[in-house]
Structure 1
Amino acid sequence: MPEFDFTRLRRAPDVEAPNLQAWDATDELLVREALATGIRGDEIAVIGDAYGAITLALTDAGMPGIRVHQDLVTGRRALARNAAALGLTDGTDAARRAAAEHADGGADGPWVPTFEQHELDERLLTGIRLVLLQLPKALAELEEIADAIARWAQPDVVLIAGGRVKHMSLGQNDVLGRYFAEVQPQRAERKSRLLVARGLRRPDGPPPFPVSTAHPGLTLCAYGGAFAGDRIDIGTRVLLEVLPDIRSAEVAIDLGCGTGALAATYAMQHPASRVIATDRSAAAVRSARATMAANGLENVTVTLDDAGSELPVGTADLVLLNPPFHLGSAVDEAAGHRLIQAAARLTRPGGEVWTVFNSHLDHRRILQREVGPTEQVERTPKFIVTKSTKR
């Protein structure tokens, strides 16, 4: 059997750039180890497969039935696109249509259901004997994943987790050690390392997430994979301080809402407004929904989406934006630029986009170009808040 060609994979619809690729050496090591176990595809779960490299390499090797969980909707869409391009689709009608579009035979081209998308829940892990994991950056996210495996996977499950050596820490071993009797680091290869965990320990208490913290006027809830957890990150805090100066809008969007601090606070200040909170992270969306429930807010809708792509043009009178400047472990302004472009698309003429960003970033120029006239309304040693009016 020929080796899987990882170079055919793409990151789209996520940002693509010469210094970014859709797989790494860790993916290749995880695939190699999974093939060596002899475990069937329908007994394997893959977690954190950024753009589908692990899932599709195993599927291409003749292992159907793999269950996969990706936190980011951009990763889910990239997996679907890559699968369709390779003729390795999941069992959904949408995937069948996408595969037909890429097939040489047109609408009657080849289609085989091969893998299943799941959330981080019991359906992902029941009956699973092997879990392949790209280690997350946050220990809280790793704990939530390990707890889920320990609750629902088979008693003899083996976890093979991997990451780039420069991003790994002994804290990851400690977290896994609470849920497995044995955690064995493997020898590093190509600047990646695998951890093999065995001897599952079933939890005897409730799940550790979501967590919640009462802040002044706001209860914030968070699942393990949500950025900043149940804290208010400093950029959001700066924008919250000027929130009372923002006008009441018929429809407001918190674009990249995270745990929902901005959306919840604005909704409490403007109960007549319809607020939409959207994020590409499933953990963030679950967290934001829990935040809205904890604060008794019924005028907020929380959606899982990539940069508001499923919302119509000109949906909102107001967009609140705290864009990221990282793509995974890479520092890249392109992620923020995508959200600024989305804010421009979503804002009605005359509407406003309020943005907070690190002062060293070039976002004001991008806002001026994409949205319209942009003025600085607040500045701290690290952050700038701007107001842009849609032309």
Structure 2
Amino acid sequence: MPEFPYSRLRRWPDVEADNLQAYDATDLLLVDRALALAAERGIDGSQIAVIGDEYGAITLALTDAGMRGIRVHQDLATGRRALTRNATELGIDGFAAHELDAALLDGARVVLLQLPKALAELEEIADAVARWAAPDPVLVAGGRVKHMTLAQNEALGRSFGVVQAQRAERKSRLIVASEPREVPVALPFPVTAQHEGLTLVAHGGAFAGARLDIGTRVLLDVLGGSRGGASQTPWRVIDLGCGTGALAVSYALAHPEAEVIATDRSAAAVASARATAAANGVDERVTVTHDDAGSELPDGWADVVMLNPPFHLGTSIHSGAATRLFEAAARLLRPGGELFTVFNSSLGYRAELTRIVGDTEQLHRTPKFTVTRSIRR
């Protein structure tokens, strides 16, 4: 069998750069272990589930090797689009996409996982596998050694009786979990927390969980003051990269006449934001979409865009993620519309915001965060 052409995979529509590629050594280790387990246990692709396959390397390599019927869950909209694009480019089909639910895992005997950054996300995934997979599943989780911690083993151990770390290879390591424990009747996620009149609901993969992160809190404080004397409340507002929906829901609560859209590329964030909107009684006025940088929203629609951009791409620090969102905001705003952005003060995005969006002023600055307002030219 010819070797799978990993080098032909692309990250598109995610950021592409010389130091970023669409696969890593962990993907290769997971594929090799899956093929070995399939031969050892006599299983086919319909009994394999893949979670966290960033750009499709695991799913496509296994399908190309004859493991048809694989079920795959990717949290990010960019990953889902990349998988579809890479599959089309390579002429591969025979797999099915799912959310993180019973349909993904029903009857699965081998589950492959690219370890997520957040322990809460790992806990939710481990519980799902123990809850919904076959009675004898093997969960094979992998990651780059430099990003792995003992806390990940402990998180897996809460859902599995046996957790064994494997020998590191090519700076990656696999953890094999088996013998699922009895799961609680109630699902452990989403979780809920109260914040001064705002209820936040969060799945494990949502940034900051049910906490109100510091950057969002700073931006909310500035928004409350900066628009207090405005002559006209904006009717159309977008929370770009909404996370759990704190900005969108807070705005909807303060401005009942506004039309608010919250959008995020993370499925966990979208599920959380929808639950947050419902918990605060504004789900009929806040529309939440799973999208890549608001790509499905119309140009020039918004009067205001609110943005708390990430500065990581996976485990890599890269400014490209914020730049794409700045460009999206410029497209989504009407001329004269306002972009409110909060970012780590050390990043100094003001010049870039001026270049991409329009005149940008600093509204507030702390030792850690800066809030700016950009007027769409």
2:61 corresponds in structure 1 to 57
Give the SS at the match of 1:147: helix
AA aligned opposite 2:132? W
Q: CA RMSD in A?
A: 0.8
2:174 corresponds in structure 1 to 194
On the 8 A contact 1:337/1:363 being kept in 2, the answer is: no
Q: What per-residue deviation string (whole Å, max 9, x for no partner) do you get for residues 296-346 of structure 1?
A: 112110100000000010110000011111000000111000000000000
Separation of aligned partners in 2, 1:224 and 1:74: 19
Q: How does 1:343-358 map to 2 (within 5 A)?
A: 343-358=329-344
The yes-or-no answer on 1:267 pairing with 2:252 is yes
Q: Given the alignment, which residue of 287, 297, 303 partners 1:317?
A: 303
1:327 corresponds in structure 2 to 313
1:253 corresponds in structure 2 to 238
Please report how far the alpha carbon of residue 148 of structure 1 lies from its aligned counterpart in structure 2 after TM superposition: 0.6
Separation of aligned partners in 2, 1:326 and 1:251: 29
1:305 corresponds in structure 2 to 291
1:179 corresponds in structure 2 to 159
1:84 corresponds in structure 2 to 88
Q: How does 1:119-268 map to 2 (within 5 A)?
A: 119-244=99-224, 245-246=226-227, 247=230, 248-268=233-253
Please report how far the alpha carbon of residue 257 of structure 1 lies from its aligned counterpart in structure 2 after TM superposition: 0.3
Separation of aligned partners in 2, 1:30 and 1:116: 19
Separation of aligned partners in 2, 1:363 and 1:339: 12
Q: Mark the runs of 5 or more structure 1 residues left unpaired by the alignment.
A: 90-113
Q: What per-residue deviation string (whole Å, max 9, x for no partner) do you get for residues 74-124 of structure 1?
A: 0000000100000013xxxxxxxxxxxxxxxxxxxxxxxx10000000100
Give the SS at the match of 2:89: helix
Please report how far the alpha carbon of residue 359 of structure 1 lies from its aligned counterpart in structure 2 after TM superposition: 1.1
TM-score (norm 2): 0.96
Q: How does 1:14-53 map to 2 (within 5 A)?
A: 14-37=14-37, 38=39, 39-53=43-57
The yes-or-no answer on 1:367 pairing with 2:353 is yes
Please report how far the alpha carbon of residue 363 of structure 1 lies from its aligned counterpart in structure 2 after TM superposition: 1.6
Please report how far the alpha carbon of residue 205 of structure 1 lies from its aligned counterpart in structure 2 after TM superposition: 2.2
On the 8 A contact 1:173/1:183 being kept in 2, the answer is: yes
Q: What per-residue deviation string (whole Å, max 9, x for no partner) do you get for residues 44-69 of structure 1?
A: 00000000000000011111100000
Q: Given the alignment, which residue of 261, 286, 301 partners 1:276?
A: 261
1:67 corresponds in structure 2 to 71
Separation of aligned partners in 1, 2:290 and 2:99: 12
AA aligned opposite 2:35? L
AA aligned opposite 1:53? A
Please report how far the alpha carbon of residue 201 of structure 1 lies from its aligned counterpart in structure 2 after TM superposition: 1.6
The sequence identity of aligned pairs, in percent, is: 69
Separation of aligned partners in 1, 2:126 and 2:47: 17
Runs of 4+ in 1 over 4 A off after TM superposition: none
Separation of aligned partners in 2, 1:142 and 1:232: 21
AA aligned opposite 1:355? T
Separation of aligned partners in 1, 2:253 and 2:260: 10
Q: Given the alignment, which residue of 276, 279, 299 partners 1:294?
A: 279
Separation of aligned partners in 1, 2:135 and 2:156: 15
Separation of aligned partners in 1, 2:348 and 2:85: 31
AA aligned opposite 2:91? G
AA aligned opposite 2:342? V
